A and B are shown apart, each in its own frame.
Chain A
Amino acid sequence: MSDAASPPEAKSSPEPRSGSEAKPALTRRAFFKGAGVVAAGGVIGEAVHASNARAFGPAMLEGQVEVELEINGAKQKVTVEPRTTLLNALRNHCNPPLTGTKLVCDRGSCGACTVHLDGKPVYSCMTLAVDAVGHKVKTIEGLAPQGQLTVLQQKFCDHDGSQCGFCTPGFVMAITACLERNPAASLDEIQNACSGNLCRCGTQPQIFEAALAAGRALQSKGGK
């Protein structure tokens, strides 16, 4: 229920797990140490090859790391810093750049950067790129790869769910996840799903209309 409203915590700082098999992700302390090294001395170490974030263990990361991200079904190697957010990795490091995901607040308070991590909506500005390794990332570009809009995207167009459009990708991703869980979502559930998303143009009434219309269409189609 609330995973949409406050997405990324579970992913960016996982609960410690018991047992010897627990493979801790990059720790907050290590992250800061890594970032600090760069800031203080500008020591860019040799690129650390890491195909799996779990493989980092609790070790300190510094300099630049090459990670393999699975984005919209395709694997892609990008070289980032340990502190690089998934948002900045998508926008600035991917080839071609995936700029549909928007940077607005850069601190988890507006929802414009919402992407799906293993099907769940997360704020990509609050998720480190290195923590996305081993997970399936889906961005707004991945919803309609061949240009065929999803039902929700089409309803956004039909009901004028965009004005300036800068918040639109985030809303679409948040509501997509909601409708994937429950195409029969009520207005209340839809509002809950995008309660972490800001729109400055005041387009929310049309967004609600679009979401409800999409839900109805998905139900009559029996799912997707």
Chain B
Amino acid sequence: MALEPLKFQDEKPPRPAAPGKKWIRVTKAVNGIDTEVWEEVSDDAGGPQWGPRDQMRLVSRAIPRVDGPDKVSGRAMYSSDMRLPGMVYARVLRSRVPCGTVKLDLEAAKAIPGVLAVIALNNGNIDWLGRPIAAVAATTPELAEDGLRAIVATYEEQPFAVTPEQSAAENAPKVNSRGNVRTLSKNTDSSEVDAALGKAAKRVQGTWKIPVQHHASLETHGVVVDYRGGAEATIYASTQGTFTIPGDAAGRLGLQGGQVTAVVEHMGGGFGSKFGMGIEGDAACQLAKELGRPVHLMLDRATEFHAAGNRSGGEHTLEAGLDDKGQIVAIKGRVTRHGGVGQGSGHPIPYIYGRDAKVFVEDRCIHTHTDSSRAMRGPGHPQASFSMEALMDECAYASGLDLLEIRRINLADNRRELYMRQLERCAALIGWDKHPFKNAPDLSKSELKVGIGFAIARWGGGGNGQCKVEVRIAQDGSVEVLSGTQDLGTGTRTYCASIVAEELGLELGAVRPRIGRSTFGSANASGGSTTSPSLSPSVKHAAHNARLALFEKVAPLLGVKPDELAVGLGEIHVAAKPSQKIAWKDACAALGPAGLSAQGEWQAHLASSDVGGAQAAKVQVDTLTGEIKVLDMVAVQNCGLLLNRMAVKSQLQGGMVQALSYGLFEERVLDPDLGLFLNANFEDYKIAGVREIPRMQVEFEDDPRGVIGMAEAAVIPGHSAIANAVRNACGVRVFDMPVTADKVLVGLEALRKKG
């Protein structure tokens, strides 16, 4: 599927808005890929309003998440924690070879006492390394693994290409029927850009290499399928989309969609990789159907690495031509994505910079016999950021310009104010003014060099109308907010409660959020930072409607009209005369046994889109060992109304940690000769640990807009800032991530030889 490039706000809607309508940008996540479209909505800004922020009690404040106590005490139930009567444990066998066919003899496995079912998962054709080929269900996970070992798999191996180099070589084994190397861009005429480059005062170029990164969610992919025959099933899924489950599961179980309920109480990380049932979900359904018993199937860690997605790697060859003032007049590039059997998310080059530049980019993908890439937090953007921010710094060094000045010159007019404000604030936070080596490295004798780097991000983060929310008020005064949505650890559950509590004048604990169940109101999948801008306006609308419905019941008790009422803390009173009031419990007692239920839908005017952020990193490079230590990371981010300052700060810092990890440590390593994945575990595939965490400081701008998602923006620029800081510190530009000590040493040696 072709990925729509991020459409920027300055692009125009397709036609003028009809009377009483307006155009807004809507972010729609298609399998987690952020796709932005224009949508015409009612221009009526009536209905609920967020209201003045300085008067908010809960929303826009820093509040501890409501499920914190469950998470710190082990009570939080993740899908992998489900234990059901008669439940069996399943495991999948993955293909040892990247390409070929396999014949399976399952008899020995079936003969093991305690092994209850053994199934083949495909027709025996293998076109990527690690593809699941069989599954075993047994009374314990240990016995299921015995079953896997007892399966006799006879492979007929075919030549394979697991690396892009192998795949692009002449006479390479075919990976994709449309060709191993596919050009996706249509424009083939670079003459205008070539001419502009020819006239440029300076030219800067480089080839950047980006490894394949893994999501490495701590909870692996998987499901617990509760199907014991009959007409109903419940799927406990570790997923980013509650509603991506029932339809597919029903198909596998031979049921109707409405007969299957998906449950996602808590989930242990997805980062873009967990949508739909997946091969593992299909296998679990097949086993459950065969056995008539609940099946627990979570991938083991090695299979998670092999067969549960990744962030596409790539290679960017870029050349920029500058005029004598440092403005880029032309960018020519070849962008290659490495998405395995998939195509990879688009790497949007040129990224943000390059106003008025003539641009020619050839966009290609190279297929390999490896698992397809999937969306991963900010799909395509961190990759594009890595080469583009490096190119900007190299342009600055080539022109003798300050690292901020080169950015000011090359940002589009309508983006300059925002990003320069953020960059200058980052510069102040990280001590750029006092940094003595602004556009040339520290050439002193000191072995420890300190450097600073900058980078910026943008993302849509708008909402859409997929969420339906219900607020229930019971006669005893208890309140529930219900939505099928899922909480990935972002704090969804908490703001569902806080928005309702704010609207109804209640304490946070008085509202019970119930989410993660497909029998509740529909909700979008959590991809592309679309959850909070889609869900929170719907929650607000439902709470608003509940309040109005309650006022209807209460008004006669106070002898006034409903529109004369207002909420206070734990009470409803006459707005003009607050002493004329009724306590919350007494008001609800008037509801009768059925209580009250109010529905909410998306309110476009309560959301917005388009976030921007800047980050800076300060690193120390030991020129003797090449060791890189990140000392500080800072961020300045806008994102509309902050639903919970505590959770959003955690999410921003979390993105920065992930980017640090991406920039310095993470890389999938494959053996090109043997066709093996060499580091499918957490010892050899390293992610940042507690010892790698720098001092961190983040700030949010006071942003008057409605709610916008910012999860993606958080992860986009950090590694680029770190790589730039290494360059600033010691003069070495490491072109291929991860930026490691050995590459720094090689670069230092090259610099020495150059003199």
Contacts and interface: CB of A to CB of B under 8 A. Distances in A.
Contact of A149 (B72, B218, B219, B646): B72
Given A105-B681, A144-B73, A191 B691 contact: yes
B111 A163 contact: no
A221 B487 CA distance: 35
B83 A99 contact: yes
B218 A153 contact: no
Contacts of B654: 163, 201-203
Interface residues of A, number: 61
A101 B647 contact: no
The 7 A-B residue pairs with the shortest CB-CB distance, nearest first, are A100-B74, A202-B657, A166-B268, A164-B489, A202-B654, A165-B71, A157-B68
Contact of A102 (B65, B72, B218, B657): B218
Contact of B656 (A139, A161, A202): A202
Interface residues of B, number: 67
Interface string B554-593: 0000000000000000000000000000000000000000
Interface in B650-699: 650-651, 653-658, 661, 681-683, 687-691, 693, 696
B646 A160 contact: yes
Contacts of A91: 81, 83
A156 B653 CA distance: 16
Contacts of B655: 202
Interface string A82-100: 0110001001100001111
Contacts of B47: none
B266 A165 contact: yes
B397 interface: no
Contacts of B220: 104
Contacts of A50: none
Interface string A22-42: 000000000000000011001
B114 A84 contact: no
Contacts of A38: 142-143, 146
B682 A203 contact: no
Contact of A160 (B69, B216, B301, B647): B647
B157 interface: no
B217 interface: yes
A163 B655 CA distance: 12
Contacts of B69: 149, 153, 157
Contacts of A160: 64-65, 68, 646-647, 649-650
B112 interface: yes
Contact of B65 (A143, A162, A199, A205): A162
B21 interface: no
Contacts of B178: none
Contact of A198 (B112, B140, B653, B687): B687
A166 B141 contact: no
Given A44-B113, A157-B69, A160-B650, A204 B690 contact: yes
A104 B73 contact: no
Task: Choose among B114, B218, B488, B651 the residue with the greatest number of A CB atoms under 10 Å from its CB.
Answer: B218
Contacts of B146: 38-39, 42
Contacts of B693: 204-205, 208
Contact of A164 (B142, B269, B649): B269
A197 interface: yes
Interface stretch (A11-19, A52-60, A106-114): A106-114
Nearest to B63: A160
Nearest to A169: B74
Nearest to B649: A160
B516 to A, nearest CB: 13
A38 B142 CA distance: 10
Interface in A119-174: 139-141, 143-144, 147, 149, 153, 156-158, 160-169, 172
A164 B488 contact: yes
A199 B112 CA distance: 38
Interface string B210-234: 0000011111100000000000000
B267 interface: yes
B735 interface: no
10 contacts: A39-B150, A81-B140, A97-B81, A102-B218, A160-B64, A160-B646, A162-B489, A165-B268, A195-B689, A202-B661
Given A88-B142, A162-B72, A200-B218, 17 more contacts: A38-B143, A42-B113, A88-B141, A92-B83, A99-B77, A139-B74, A143-B73, A156-B72, A157-B65, A165-B489, A166-B78, A166-B268, A169-B74, A200-B269, A204-B657, A205-B653, A206-B653
Nearest to A84: B142
A103 interface: yes
Contacts of A202: 653-658, 661, 688
B73 A163 contact: no
Q: Which of A106, A158, A202 has the most CB of B within 10 A?
A: A202
Most central of A39, A84, A139 by chain B CB within 10 Å: A39
Contact of B218 (A83, A107, A167, A195): A167
B279 interface: no
Contacts of B690: 191, 194-195, 197, 204, 207-208
A166 B696 contact: no
Contact of A44 (B76, B114, B682, B687): B114
B72 A168 contact: yes
Given A160-B646, A163-B489, A200-B217, A153 B72 contact: yes
A169 to B, nearest CB: 5
B489 A39 contact: no
B691 A164 contact: no
Nearest to A153: B72
A158 B62 CA distance: 10
B682 A172 contact: no
A195 B681 CA distance: 17
Contacts of A161: 68, 72
Contacts of A139: 74
B73 A164 contact: no
B75 interface: yes
A147 B13 CA distance: 55
Nearest to A144: B73
B300 interface: yes
A141 B74 contact: yes
Nearest to A44: B113
A140 B689 CA distance: 22
Contacts of B71: 156, 162, 165, 168
Contacts of A42: 111-114, 146
Given A44-B113, A166-B219, A198-B689, A157 B489 contact: no
A191 to B, nearest CB: 5
B439 interface: no
Contacts of A39: 146, 149-150
Contacts of A208: 690, 693
Interface string B285-316: 00000000000001011000000000000000
Most buried by A among B69, B646, B683: B69
A203 B656 CA distance: 10
B73 A200 contact: no
A198 B218 contact: yes
Contacts of B111: 42
A109 B657 CA distance: 19
A62 B341 CA distance: 44
Which residue, of A84, A157, A158, A163, has the highest number of chain B Cβ atoms within 10 A? A163
Contacts of B78: 99, 102, 166
Contacts of A144: 73
B650 A153 contact: no
B80 interface: yes
A149 B75 CA distance: 12
A106 B68 contact: no
B683 to A, nearest CB: 5
Nearest to B68: A157
Contacts of B76: 165
B74 to A, nearest CB: 2
Q: Which of A102, A149, A161, A164: most chain B Cβ within 10 A?
A: A164
A191 B269 CA distance: 23
B490 interface: yes
